[in-house]
Amino acid sequence: MTKPSLLILPGDGIGPEVMAEVRKIIGWFGERRGLAFDVSEDLVGGCAYDKHGTPLHDDTMAKAQEVDAVLLGAVGGPKYDSLDFSVKPERGLLRLRKEMDLFSNLRPAQCFDALADFSSLKKDVVAGLDIMIVRELTSGVYFGEPRGIFKEGNERVGINTQRYTESEIARVARSAFELAMRRDKKLCSMEKANVMESGILWRDVVTEVGKDYPEAELSHMYADAGAMQLTRWPKQFDVIVTDNLFGDLLSDLAAMLTGSLGMLPSASLGAPMASGRPKALYEPVHGSAPDIAGQGKANPIACILSFAMALRYSFDQGDEATRLETAIETVLAKGLRTADLMGPEGGSAVSTSGMGDAIVAALDASI
């Protein structure tokens, strides 16, 4: 049997450091669980710009289209702030999302028991929290036309367009309902139908798709009220579906509820390929954190959990994904912390690679 293929794009900042730990985990599954992957590596973001003058080379794009799954670290950094918008590191990531047509972005916000004290909210508000934000990822104001900075009379005007077709809304709604059906069967859709026509259409289409899921409890909320409710009592939600921009904001908000952005993975899924697997890219929710890059301070858990999502959603290895998630919980329960998980009282932090090694040891102990 040919091995499933993985393209690794570590990217910039802490990306390469956290990805080195994911590589240890991938190696472990190959050696100890007979789950070997055909792994290749390439550049994305600022490092790709440095080498090729573009944040995503066409060859890398082509490779991403062919593999069974892409695993990405992070892109960007202050070194690239003054670059032209068209070649900024983020454009590489956005091109991957768009050309692979990864319309459904799954962003779990889960509170690990060992870290409940770490949230800025009261412990009982966040303990046990487990919600999933499904963010539309390939349309909306991120990609709508017209866009640009234009001259109007004697001043400039900046324009972006929020645009959604019915089919774009319907497919992401369907993926959110499918997910909800495998969880608590509760879906909350967020838009601003009170001020935006695209929001009215969004609400309409989601309601229509919901008729195919009569067992699912569907609710609608304006996105601003949703932000408020997420901070007031997040456990009222199970799955949230929302557009690209609101999803960007709400997923950062939800991530922070859990105590650390360094803990959260994401999956970006598209239509099924010939193999039946969805087109897929997995990446941590956190960014490239240039301020701590190269110091062994980064938390590799979000990136490792992104690989767990790959095991579950691309490779049908839900049990092995759970094994990995449990190993991480074990390590946290033992008190191991990277620098980002240190409370104001301090303590001694384990390095990025120390955390990776501890997770491998916990995996060893699991078999």
Active site residues: 142, 192, 224, 248, 252
- Is there binding between residue 340 and Mg ion (CB under 5 A)? no
Q: How many residues bind ligand IPM (CB under 6 A)?
A: 4
Residue with Cβ nearer ligand IPM (101 or 357): 101
* Contacts of ligand IPM in 232-271 (CB under 6 A): 248
Residue with Cβ nearer ligand IPM (15 or 300): 15
Closest CB to ligand IPM: residue number: 90
Selection from ligand IPM, Mg ion, none that 224 binds (CB < 5 to 8 A by kind) is none
- Is there binding between residue 42 and Mg ion (CB under 5 A)? no
- Is there binding between residue 184 and ligand IPM (CB under 6 A)? no
- Is there binding between residue 325 and Mg ion (CB under 5 A)? no
d(CA 72, CA 302) in angstroms, rounded, equals 11
Q: How many residues bind Mg ion (CB under 5 A)?
A: 1
Closest CB to Mg ion: residue number: 248
**Buried b / exposed e across 9-23, counting CB within 10 Å, b at 16+?**
bbbbbbbbbbbbbbb
Selection from ligand IPM, Mg ion, none that 311 binds (CB < 5 to 8 A by kind) is none
Answer yes or no: are the C-beta atoms of 112 and 75 closer than 8 Å.
no
Residue with Cβ nearer ligand IPM (14 or 363): 14
At closest approach, how far in Å is the CB of 28 from ligand IPM? 28
At closest approach, how far in Å is the CB of 74 from ligand IPM? 8
Selection from ligand IPM, Mg ion, none that 72 binds (CB < 5 to 8 A by kind) is none
At closest approach, how far in Å is the CB of 315 from ligand IPM? 23
Selection from Mg ion, ligand IPM, none that 90 binds (CB < 5 to 8 A by kind) is ligand IPM
Residue with Cβ nearer ligand IPM (35 or 143): 143
- Is there binding between residue 281 and ligand IPM (CB under 6 A)? no
Rg, the chain, Cα only = 20
Task: Report the residue from 27, 54, 79, 90 that binds ligand IPM according to the rule CB under 6 A.
Answer: 90
Residue with Cβ nearer Mg ion (74 or 308): 74
* Contacts of ligand IPM in 161-180 (CB under 6 A): none
* Contacts of ligand IPM in 94-113 (CB under 6 A): 94
Answer yes or no: are the C-beta atoms of 32 and 367 closer than 8 Å.
yes
At closest approach, how far in Å is the CB of 92 from ligand IPM? 10
- Is there binding between residue 93 and ligand IPM (CB under 6 A)? yes
Nearest Cα residue to 103 out of 247, 304, 317: 247
- Is there binding between residue 248 and Mg ion (CB under 5 A)? yes
Answer yes or no: are the C-beta atoms of 55 and 89 closer than 8 Å.
yes
Which of 71-79, 132-140, 242-250, 254-262 is the region at the interface with Mg ion (rule: CB under 5 A)?
242-250
What residues line the site for ligand IPM (CB under 6 A)? 90, 93-94, 248
Contacts with Mg ion by CB under 5 A lie at 248
